[in-house]
Amino acid sequence: MTDYAEILYEVEGAVATITLNRPEALNALTSLTQAEVRHALAASERDAAVIGTVLTGAGRGFCSGVDMNALGKMSEAGRLLSDRYEHLQAEAGNPDADPNYQGSPTYFLGLRKPLVAAVNGVCAGLGFSYATFCDMRFMDREARIVSSFAPRGLVAEHGTSWMLPRLVGPSNALDILWSSRRIEAEEAHRMGWANRLCEPGQAAQTAQAYLRSLAGTSAPYSLMMMKKQVWRHLSRELGDAMGETSRWIEESLARADFKEGVASFVERRPPRFAKLQVE
């Protein structure tokens, strides 16, 4: 197990949890933090015992965005800056080498396992983009989101302009991006950005419980393929999506998971599905 400097990575049963661990800076993202998150997600992908991963923050915040020191250096350089960490080069996601899933955090969509954001406090800037690209968002009632791009003279970054309208609609997306106002959890839930509202301090535990429930009822292979269908087919014509789905249905009918799913239903017992083996 890699000894991370700016995140915590823990596995309990079928659930992995990645905690951004710079609470003194409201978990602002450095290039090291981002590399460690990607490395830890690769570890959870390879762990056959893990059904899915929760991404959350330590202390009072989920993530306040990019670290201000890094922003200052980029402002001086007038361009994006990045560092390379040789010990953190394990790739996560994008098993099909889809060009849409190469960047950060767009590679979240190429992960084969569910990724749930547990938003436990302020969620701003790139932290907001991280949560937006997770498959689901569980949000403490006292948490809030802020886009933060326009007040810095920036455009919507990191694919957020593609993903956000698909969650909340184009007008709500423009409001979030243009105004960069603080949006409380209740409004984020009404808009459709937050999938679950949780009591204060309970977002991570609720997200973990959700993934554990999936581990008891759903085939890991099915979860992987449904995630692929949903994100991949958002950019496809209906006919193309249906054609691909028809091929995948034929494949799933021949799998042992299908036989086990039928048998467990008939026998009224919990299913015993095969674990997802990832190279």
Residue in this structure with the two tokens 């996601």, named with its chain if needed: 93
Claim to verify: residue 199 and residue 229 sit in the same structural domain: no
Claim to verify: residue 261 and residue 169 sit in the same structural domain: no
Q: Which of 60, 105, 57 is nearest to 204 (CA)?
A: 57
Claim to verify: residue 48 and residue 97 sit in the same structural domain: yes
Alpha-carbon dihedral of residues 159, 109, 70, 89, nearest 10 degrees?
Answer: -140
pLDDT of residue 104: 87
Q: What is the token pair recorded at 80?
A: 């994006």
Claim to verify: residue 149 and residue 229 sit in the same structural domain: no
End-of-domain residue from the set 196, 214, 232: 214
pLDDT of residue 1: 57
Claim to verify: residue 169 and residue 234 sit in the same structural domain: no
pLDDT of residue 75: 38
pLDDT of residue 74: 40
Residue 272 forms part of a structural domain:
no
pLDDT of residue 91: 64
Q: What is the token pair recorded at 172?
A: 């709500």
The beta strands (E) that lie in 107-216 are given as: 115-119, 122-124, 136-140, 144-146, 183-184, 196-198
Residue 271 forms part of a structural domain:
no
End-of-domain residue from the set 195, 214, 233: 214
Claim to verify: residue 134 and residue 200 sit in the same structural domain: yes
Claim to verify: residue 151 and residue 252 sit in the same structural domain: no
pLDDT of residue 79: 38
Query: Quick one: DSSP state of residue 29?
Result: B
pLDDT of residue 88: 72
Claim to verify: residue 164 and residue 259 sit in the same structural domain: no
Cα(160)–Cα(129) distance, rounded to whole angstroms? 6
Domain limits for position 129: 7-214
Q: What is the token pair recorded at 47?
A: 């762990």
Domain count, the chain: 2
Count of beta carbons in the 10 Å neighbourhood of residue 225:
17
Claim to verify: residue 184 and residue 230 sit in the same structural domain: no
Q: For the chain, how far is it from start to end, CA to CA, in angstroms?
A: 17
Claim to verify: residue 13 and residue 66 sit in the same structural domain: yes
* Confidence (pTM): 0.91
Angle between helical axes of 220-233 and 238-253 (0-180°, round to 10): 170
Measure CA 128 to chain center. Answer: 11
Low-confidence ranges of the chain (pLDDT < 70): 1, 70-87, 89-95, 279
Claim to verify: residue 163 and residue 245 sit in the same structural domain: no
| CATH number of the domain within which 36 lies | 3.90.226.10
* Residues forming a β-bridge with 29: 66
Residue 96 forms part of a structural domain:
yes
- Beta strands 115-119 and 15-20: pairing type? unpaired
pLDDT of residue 54: 98
